[in-house]
Amino acid sequence: MSIEFNYTTKTLKSTPAISSGSVFGELDKDIVYTFSGKSSLTLLLRYYQHIGKLKDRSDQILVPQWLGDPVYMVMHEHCFPTTFMNEKVKGIMVYHQWGFPQDMDYIKKFCEDNKLFFIEDCAHTHESYYKGQRLGTFGESSFFSLGKFFSSVVGGSIYTQSDSIKKFIEEKFQEDDEKLSTEVFNRRHNFDVSSTQENVIELRRDYAVYSKLLKCPEYSLAISQQEVAGGAMLKRRAHYELYKKAFGGSKYLSDLIKEDVVPWVVPLFFDEIKNKKVVSALRDAGIKTGVYHFDVNRNMFKPDFKECVPLPCHQGMTTEDVLKVIDIVKCVTE
């Protein structure tokens, strides 16, 4: 088998009809759909410029110690990302790594004490909670990535209860480059079908124009609705439960198992030698993974990064797939 972190489509079907089906449940009424998570971030940063909270690109936003390069590219158009608090910092961006919540009590108090706005980066989150409150609802704004959780090719969203933010976004949607959006959508699909070097290069080039791609493609929204209705999140949760049953405990998942999350991937923690053995065995079986760093403290101000091996848990996997992953891991660690 060949299993990626993301659940990606391999054949592009004709666009199903957009229905009234729910993608975010109780959050739906305050969701605005966008081309991607990066498009969402672009719109939010433009809004904070519009109201004067970001005056120019020298104003700074606190970020975690690690984010993907395309996110930094988006931020540099509007502000300067930093990991150090100083007088130029106007806000923070909170990243819930792989769907596991940051310490929102600490972060909210920090923002209140320093009069900072904050944006929740929920690109790796769809239906996760912190002490009973859904991630994405702690601040004035948050953004999600449909393409991380569904076979929607692209797609993102912004959650906000602010009428001012919603009005600003709707006005900015008039600037959307629909022709370019179609071209980028197709190239992104080509990458999903075949991650050749040429398609990788095209994908990276396209990141430079994401600030011009604003509206969510009909295909992306319709597929997301379809997959949620088909139980995608229930399947992810069930797969996570299998991993917890097999590996749960301080030796493997630390206190992460206490959180109510539907993860993007599931981190397992071993020593350095076992990490390498697990990665090698999984890759030999066609399962994408590697040795990554996870903030086990889950506090961007006081991070504690530990090496781990993330395992896929998406709805494209069967129960048998998950059990095979578990068997492979146990064979090289027990």
Q: What is the pLDDT of residue 98?
A: 96
Residues 277 and 334: their CA atoms lie apart, in Å, by 12
Residues 189 and 321: their CA atoms lie apart, in Å, by 24
| pLDDT tens digits for range 20-31 | 889 999 999 999
Confidence band, pLDDT 50/70/90 cuts, at residue 3:
confident
Percent of the chain scored above 90 by pLDDT?
81
User: Is a pLDDT exceeding 80 seen at residue 10?
Assistant: no
Q: Residue 148 is encoded by which pair of tokens? A: 């991380």
Q: What is the pLDDT of residue 250?
A: 66
Q: CA-CA distances (angstroms) from residue 270 to 33, 132, 239, 285, 289?
A: 39, 29, 20, 19, 14
Confidence band, pLDDT 50/70/90 cuts, at residue 44:
very high
1 or 94: which leads in pLDDT: 94
Q: What is the pLDDT of residue 21?
A: 85
Q: Where in the chain is the domain with CATH 3.40.640.10?
A: 25-176+208-228
Reported in sequence order, the residue ranges of the chain that DSSP labels E, i.e. its strands, are: 31-34, 60-62, 80-82, 89-95, 117-122, 129-130, 133-134, 141-145, 156-159, 265-268, 292-295, 305-312
Q: What is the pLDDT of residue 119?
A: 97
Question: Minimum mean pLDDT among 12-16, 63-67, 293-297: which range?
Answer: 12-16
Residues 6+ apart with CB under 8 A from 265: 5, 98, 310, 311, 312, 313
Question: Minimum mean pLDDT among 17-31, 86-100, 245-259: which range?
Answer: 245-259
Q: What is the pLDDT of residue 1?
A: 55
Class of domain 25-176+208-228 as given by CATH: alpha beta
- Give the pLDDT mean for 259-263: 92
Q: What is the pLDDT of residue 7?
A: 83
Q: What is the pLDDT of residue 88?
A: 96
- Give the pLDDT mean for 312-328: 96
Work out the mean pLDDT of the chain and round it to a whole number: 93
Could you tell me which of 146, 157, 294, 298 has the C-alpha nearest to residue 233?
146
Confidence band, pLDDT 50/70/90 cuts, at residue 282:
very high
Residues 6+ apart with CB under 8 A from 179: none
Q: Where in the chain is the domain with CATH 3.90.1150.10?
A: 232-333
Is the torsion defined by CA of 303, 304, 305, 311 positive or negative? negative
| pLDDT tens digits for range 120-154 | 999 999 999 999 999 999 989 999 999 999 999 99
Q: What is the pLDDT of residue 256?
A: 82
Residues 113 and 126: their CA atoms lie apart, in Å, by 29
User: Is a pLDDT exceeding 70 seen at residue 290?
Assistant: yes
Class of domain 232-333 as given by CATH: alpha beta
| pLDDT tens digits for range 177-216 | 999 999 999 999 998 888 899 999 998 899 888 888 999 9
